Amino acid sequence: MMRNTLGEMEIRCTEEDSRRLMEYMRLVLEKNQHINLTSITDPDEFILKHFLDSAAVMKLPEYRAADTVLDLGTGGGFPGVPLAILTPDKQFTLIDSLQKRVRVVEEMCGEIALTNVNLQHGRAEDLGRDQRYREQYDLCLSRAVADMAVLAEYCLPFVKTGGYFISYKGSDIEEELGAAKKAIRVLGGRIAGVEAVNIKGLEHNFVIIRKETSTPGRYPRQAGKPKKSPIR
């Protein structure tokens, strides 16, 4: 079902890619018994919500154009790991603030011999001020991490001017997006578009933000602050 659906979405998935994705699912479900990586344990649902949903971004030109991709708040490796499997020509950095998850995802990537992924433990607010990460990426992705205004402060500092931040959001985003407009602008971004996707009845939106100007040096604020008092 996975390869057929990816084919319908015009996303290339070789037999080897498919084998690796299935092995990654097996590993996640196995590790999930000891450390919380996902609430989804049914294989069909896992394929839909973790693999197909993650891969849907591949049809966007802003994704295709990127060489370096950051996944902020990757959790069990989503969307970063499936994307790294399906687009081996891109370099991925996967960040999460929970060290145990980072270690396990790193181990699982090793087991499926993924060479285009780097795992980094840390909070967005700290790494976004670190010159090794700040404004180094063509594209930053994030799924299910925070509200849009908070997410803009987590993600935009990592993006090069001229690059993009794409957020995976649900179907109802107007209010959230309206409340994030100021934050996006202040951090150097501009909403370039919202792309609706429907994968086998699963509806969501990609919010596409272009980084127009460099993020002012005072952002991101110290750890905890963006969530506690989002820029409004």
Ligand X SMILES: C[S@@+](CC[C@H](N)C(=O)[O-])C[C@H]1O[C@@H](n2cnc3c(N)ncnc32)[C@H](O)[C@@H]1O
Question: Interface residues with ligand X (CB under 6 A)?
Answer: 73-76, 78, 95-98, 101, 123-125, 143-145, 154
Tell the smallest beta-carbon distance from residue 1 to ligand X (Å).
20
- The nearest distance, CB 40 to ligand X, in angstroms, is 9
* CB 203 within 8 Å of CB 167: no
Q: Which is nearer to ligand X, 3 or 225 (CB)?
A: 225
Find tokens 């086998």 and name the residue.
Answer: 200
The residue number whose beta carbon is nearest to ligand X equals: 75
Torsion of CA 62, 164, 197, 86, to 10 degrees: 60
Closer CB to ligand X, 143 or 169, in the complex: 143
Q: Are 3 and 20 in contact (CB under 8 A)?
A: no
Query: Least CB distance from residue 15 to ligand X, whole Å?
Result: 26
Shortest Å distance, C-beta 122 to ligand X: 7
By beta-carbon proximity to ligand X, the closer residue of 213 and 229 is 229
Residue 129, marked binder: no
**Residue 206, marked binder:** no
DSSP-assigned beta bridge partners for residue 211:
189
When the beta carbons of 112 and 140 are compared against ligand X, the nearer one is 140
Shortest spacing between CB 5 and ligand X, in angstroms:
19
Question: 203: annotated binding-site residue?
Answer: no
Q: Which residues contact 153 (CB under 8 A, 6 or more apart)?
A: 124, 125, 183, 187, 219, 220, 221, 226, 230, 231
User: Is 73 part of any known ligand binding site?
Assistant: yes
- Known binding residue 158? Answer is no
Closer CB to ligand X, residue 46 or residue 164? Answer: 46
Number of H helices and number of E strands within the chain?
A: 12, 7
**DSSP secondary structure string, 78-140?**
TTHHHHHHH-TTSEEEEEES-HHHHHHHHHHHHHTT--SEEEEES-HHHHTTSTTTTT-EEEE
Annotated binding site: 73, 78, 124-125, 143
Annotated binding site for S-adenosyl-L-methionine: 73, 78, 124-125, 143
